[in-house]
Amino acid sequence: MIFSSLIFLYLFLPICLLCYAGMRNVGGVKGRNAVLIVFSLLFYAWGEPVRIVYLLLSAAVNYLCGLGVGKLKAEWLRKIILILSLIYNLGMIGYFKYSGFLMENVNALFGQHFPVPEIAQLVGISFYTFQVISYVVDCYWEKVEAQVNPLKFLLYVALFPQLIAGPIVRYSTIAAEIDDRRTTVADLSSGMTRFVVGLAKKVILANELYRIVKQFLGTSPETLTVCGTWYGVILYSLYIYYDFSGYSDMAIGLGRIFGFHFDENFDHPYLCKDITEFWQRWHISLGTFFRDYLLPIPVFGIRNKYLSLALVWLCTGIWHGASWNYILWGLYYGAFILLETKIGKKKMRKIPIVLRHIYNKIVIIIGFGIFYFEDSRQLLTFFRNLTFFNPNGFFGLFEQTSVSNNLILIIVSVVCTFPLLSLVRKLTEKWKWTAPVVSAAGTVLTVALLITSSILLVDATTNPFLYYRF
């Protein structure tokens, strides 16, 4: 099931909210937790019930491992349990995501013909597995208390707002709220607004942008002009932002409705002044995960920040998928992070701000081109088409027509990358008399976005969030 579907919006979510609210004076927080567990498992099992077995198995294994590393006294035994937990968790990701890719490359490298396994990837496995890894490691480091109640731990693992595509929620973030939480009117209003904004990002902007992207990059990229190639990949960069940040907004909004306060996952990343800052604003939960759990690990027994950076960005690429373009994409960004680290923050700040913006936007846009093309030949064609070596010329009627037909969509997509809501809040704080007007306008706009998104979803084909693949 996906958030941006009419079944979720007008059947699953209303029933879940009614059952959740009904438990307020009956079962208290235990009853509400039970409702969320049941609906979370139903949400994940929708369309493919077998995958719930692996989710429950992951929860059971890591619940026991968390108890082991958190409660046992013998350090050697705690370390063994931690290692076994990591082997199991990374092994599950490796089996379901990378076994086919690995065998294909073994066959290509050694000229063998081993059968390539065709294993259906478990939706969301990378997200919920990283969550349980962070939990077990934090228990081992004694940063959190091991959860002794298996149902509470299952709620943490399976909580449907963030189960499929993040953000990667640390146990410490919601541990207290699992035991005691309440949803205020402000929480409900803020959560619903945030959810609808995320829905609009996905349905009104991301889906429409992707329609254009497929026309340029998804059909015959080898026929594109220079401008057509840049145009297509720029729109893809906007699409992937609205698709993923839209999901994160919906997840954070839903969490808020149920009394959970998830950390932010995006912070207007296209406002960045360099690549380092971009990754401090983009997919924040993944970046902080690697920073906290992978960066401190010695590489080949050596503590070296450059080797550690290389490992982090290699893993960032691998995490995104079983294809060489994702590995190249991770190393590509790692190279620019390393370059900026070598230059230093002080020297970077001395570079004119306009040049810094031009530099990082070009790097980001080309990076998303690497991310898009899994086929190596198409990727090489993409690189060629960005330059004057493109045999198709500089500019063509195809992109001119597309720009004129979609100008409003493009302008709105660019403008909405800016922190418009923050600007409105600052203005209402400065001129308090505008607060009632702004509040009323916000309510009207939220309702309008919900109605518009719902209308667009009536005839829409299934268009899941991109990060469901990861």
Is it the case that residue 114 has pLDDT exceeding 60?
A: yes
pLDDT band at 461 (very low <50, low <70, confident <90, very high): low
Q: Are residues 109 and 141 in the same domain?
A: yes
4 versus 452: which is more confidently predicted? 452
Residue 341 located in a structural domain: no
Query: Residue 320 has what pLDDT?
Result: 87
Q: Are residues 32 and 93 in the same domain?
A: yes
Residue 203 located in a structural domain: yes
Q: Are residues 38 and 102 in the same domain?
A: yes
Q: Are residues 166 and 237 in the same domain?
A: no
Q: Are residues 76 and 161 in the same domain?
A: yes
Contact 66, 153 (CB under 8 A): yes
Average pLDDT over the chain reads 89
How many distinct structural domains can be found in the chain?
2
In 10 A of CB 443, how many CB atoms? 12
385-439 pLDDT, tens per residue?
999 888 989 998 888 999 999 999 999 999 999 988 888 878 787 777 777 888 8
pTM, 2 dp: 0.92
State which residues form the domain around 113. 6-181
Structure tokens at 179: 């035991």
Output the CA angle 142-146-150, nearest 5 degrees. Answer: 165
Q: In the listed set 142, 161, 181, which residue is the last one of a domain according to the structure?
A: 181
Scored b (16 or more CB within 10 A) or e, 14-49 reads eebbebbeebeeeeebebbbbbbbebbbbbbebeee
Q: Are residues 217 and 175 in the same domain?
A: no
Residues taking part in catalysis: 320
Residue 297 located in a structural domain: no
CA atoms within a 13 Å half-sphere pointing along the CA-CB vector of 80: 6
Residue 295 located in a structural domain: no
Q: Are residues 110 and 210 in the same domain?
A: no
Q: Are residues 92 and 13 in the same domain?
A: yes
| Alpha carbon distances (Å) from 113 to 11, 99, 105, 106, 376 | 49, 15, 11, 9, 22
The residue type of 288 is T
Q: In the listed set 139, 162, 181, which residue is the last one of a domain according to the structure?
A: 181
214-234 pLDDT, tens per residue?
999 987 788 899 999 999 999
Q: Are residues 188 and 176 in the same domain?
A: no
Would you say how long the chain is, in residues?
470
Residue 359 located in a structural domain: no
Q: In the listed set 124, 149, 181, which residue is the last one of a domain according to the structure?
A: 181
Q: Are residues 109 and 233 in the same domain?
A: no
Q: Are residues 258 and 175 in the same domain?
A: no
Residue 80 located in a structural domain: yes
Query: Residue 102 has what pLDDT?
Result: 86
**CA nearest to 65, candidates 117, 141, 155, 137:** 137
Residue 155 located in a structural domain: yes
Is 52 in a helix, a strand, or coil?
A: helix
Residue 335 located in a structural domain: no
pLDDT band at 465 (very low <50, low <70, confident <90, very high): low
Query: Residue 467 has what pLDDT?
Result: 58
Q: Are residues 411 and 468 in the same domain?
A: yes
DSSP assigned state of 97: I
